[in-house]
Structure 1
Amino acid sequence: MVSPNASQLSALSRLFSPGVFREISRSGQSALFARLFSQTGIVKMGSQTVADAFDAAFAILRREGHRDEYVYRAALTQNILLGTHSLNSSSMLTEFRTGACKADLAILNGTATVYEIKSERDSLARLENQILNYKKVFAKIYVIAGEAHINSVLENTPLEVGVMCLNRRSQISKIRESIDNSSDVCPVAIFESLRADEARSILNDSGITVPDVPNTVLRSVMRESFSQLAPQEAHGAMVKTLKRTRSLAPLSSFIKRLPMSLRPIALSVQIHNPDQQQRLLDALRLPIINAMDWT
């Protein structure tokens, strides 16, 4: 297709939203998918399946100038999480609350590395504040951007922050290496990012007994205990705990059966129910012409 207009570009991006993915997995169809795909301007062919339709939409989004956050997340997922590491040894966090910000994507293996995405559609206005918040929780920080943003990112970020470039062929290159910051994280900021059960597990592993107190005061008690932890101890315990509590290993075989274009959303939404997984896989094999009748 020719270059999409703003309305078509919006529809293309929204095809990869959690709402569409969940709806198909729950009911085997999605009226939202049918409506959005009809708005994309992609020509429907009789032999094309729903999976083919997702791949065709993604191929358009990957073009330079059209790329949104999802395209960058897909590149990180494929090249780093599934390429360098594996779902059995690493975990991935998306939209992870970090102080006053939400981290786009973080990967946990031997350490915790956060990736802040700055696509062609983003500005760099919030980057300084985002980095300040990320430094409190993650040992390593990378900003990944398109070629047009790289010089500005290099000029406006501290030297310890790594910089990556997603080139026009969707390949990631490392422009500047990230420097380990685990000795400077803030244990209380780490605590604020965790669920209560995860915080309790870290304290127990650190030899700190959590007292039996009412839930109304439990978080303040645990926060005080976290403030006594050394930064590197808190960071290491966070990595160990989150790799266990947010493991992606159970999704490994399901992810392999999905088209490449849907793997990032599948790792983010994380459908564990086998019936829902099968419902989604069956829907992806349907002819796109049939899917246009979904209501």
Structure 2
Amino acid sequence: MENRTTQLAALTRLFSAAVFREMAKKGRSALFRRLVAETDLSDRCGTKATVGDAFDSAFNILKIAGQRDEYVYRAAISHKILMGRHSLRTASMLNEFRAGSCKADLVILNGTATVYEIKSERDSLARLANQVENYKRVFAKVNVIASDAHVDEILDTVPDDVGVMCLSKRYQITTVREAVDCPERICPLTVLESLRAAEALAILKALGISAPQVPNTQRHASLRVLFADLDPATLHVEMVRTLKQTRNLAPLDDLVRELPVSLQAAALSIPVRHTDHSRLVEAVHTPMRAAMAWS
């Protein structure tokens, strides 16, 4: 049991930002080699396997119901919703986006802003009610996605306007209850606190409101005065339009296509310089025999 727990921990860490960024920066990852050595991936993959094959093999183990972590859920949403129903050129995705006193796991921007709060098998529901209330102040649609084991308790915990989704044992997303699209309920001041200053100014400009001509030290207070008077639904439309431009994922389209399926969610959530993209792709295509000598 202890050995299995150690292996699962190593497999989970393979998809960490540390490994991803190290491969992008150096074209190799000593951490990847050390983590693989703690598992049986080399035996599973075969003699002709690449680093990408090893990541796919690790992901196939991690996505088995009962041991799935947050990354597995992020990958499911990325593949089945962002790239399955939409595309990187028409929609965008935000990771760890501030919403009141919380950070939203994942937000998809298309015609509206939809937040997905992930509750994996490893998560508690203790903070869920508070998280949902904070999300309603920023996003028109709120969803909670979880495993079968959590669904009934989530339905009892969150209001009826919150959507509930299930990642099944077969790695399929099903909708248990549809989320209500309600931009009228958002709080303009909470939205302001979620935005970069340049994004807030762009929204005001789009609404025909002149930016405050004040020193930088006074700018936030002036923005609060202006945002407090905005119509929530109108603000939501401009927030979505602005964030789709400022947090645009289209430049990652080529990179995502060149990575194994298991790493595509990482590419969409872990910032990597464009100049490092080719180095990352080269590392992923490295034969495992060579990768096990990485230092």
Same fold (TM over 0.5): yes
Q: Which residue of 1 aligns with 2:7?
A: 8
Aligned runs of 1:165-184 on 2, under 5 Å?
A: 165-184=166-185
Q: Which residue of 2 aligns with 1:29?
A: 28
8 Å CA contact 2:42–2:54 kept in 1: the answer is no
Q: Which residue of 2 aligns with 1:144?
A: 145
Aligned runs of 1:79-94 on 2, under 5 Å?
A: 79-94=80-95
8 Å CA contact 2:138–2:190 kept in 1: the answer is yes
Corresponding letter in the other structure for 1:9: L
Q: Which residue of 1 aligns with 2:38?
A: 39
Aligned runs of 1:95-174 on 2, under 5 Å?
A: 95-174=96-175
Q: Does 1:294 align with 2:291?
A: no
Corresponding letter in the other structure for 1:113: T
Secondary structure at 1:5's aligned position in 2? helix
Secondary structure at 2:42's aligned position in 1? coil
Provide the TM-score with structure 2 as the length reference: 0.96
Q: Distance in 1 between matches of 2:57 and 2:224?
A: 48
- Count of aligned pairs: 293
Q: Which residue of 2 aligns with 1:268?
A: 269
8 Å CA contact 2:36–2:42 kept in 1: the answer is no
Corresponding letter in the other structure for 2:291: A
Q: Does 1:193 align with 2:194?
A: yes
Deviations 1:127-177 (A, max 9, x none): 001001000000000100001111111111100000001000000000000
8 Å CA contact 1:251–1:272 kept in 2: the answer is no
Identity of counterpart residues, as a percentage?
53
RMSD: 1.4
C-alpha displacement of 1:272: 4.5
Q: Distance in 1 between matches of 2:238 and 2:53?
A: 42
Q: Distance in 1 between matches of 2:163 and 2:238?
A: 23
Any stretches of 5+ residues in structure 1 without a counterpart?
A: none
8 Å CA contact 1:251–1:270 kept in 2: the answer is no
Any stretches of 5+ residues in structure 2 without a counterpart?
A: none
Q: Which residue of 1 aligns with 2:281?
A: 281
8 Å CA contact 2:42–2:288 kept in 1: the answer is no
8 Å CA contact 1:93–1:107 kept in 2: the answer is yes
Evaluate the alpha carbon distance shift between residue 4 and residue 69 of structure 1 in structure 2; reply closer, same or farther with a 3 A threshold: farther
Runs of 4+ in 1 over 4 A off after TM superposition: none
Provide the TM-score with structure 1 as the length reference: 0.96
Secondary structure at 2:24's aligned position in 1? helix
Q: Distance in 2 between matches of 1:200 and 1:260?
A: 37
Deviations 1:113-132 (A, max 9, x none): 00000000001000001001
Q: Which residue of 2 aligns with 1:64?
A: 65
Q: Distance in 1 between matches of 2:4 and 2:226?
A: 54
C-alpha displacement of 1:4: 6.4
Q: Does 1:75 align with 2:76?
A: yes
Corresponding letter in the other structure for 2:9: S
Secondary structure at 2:115's aligned position in 1? strand
8 Å CA contact 1:91–1:107 kept in 2: the answer is yes
Aligned runs of 1:193-232 on 2, under 5 Å?
A: 193-232=194-233
Corresponding letter in the other structure for 1:279: R
C-alpha displacement of 1:77: 0.5
C-alpha displacement of 1:12: 1.0
C-alpha displacement of 1:3: 10
Q: Distance in 2 between matches of 1:4 and 1:247?
A: 42
Q: Distance in 2 between matches of 1:95 and 1:222?
A: 23
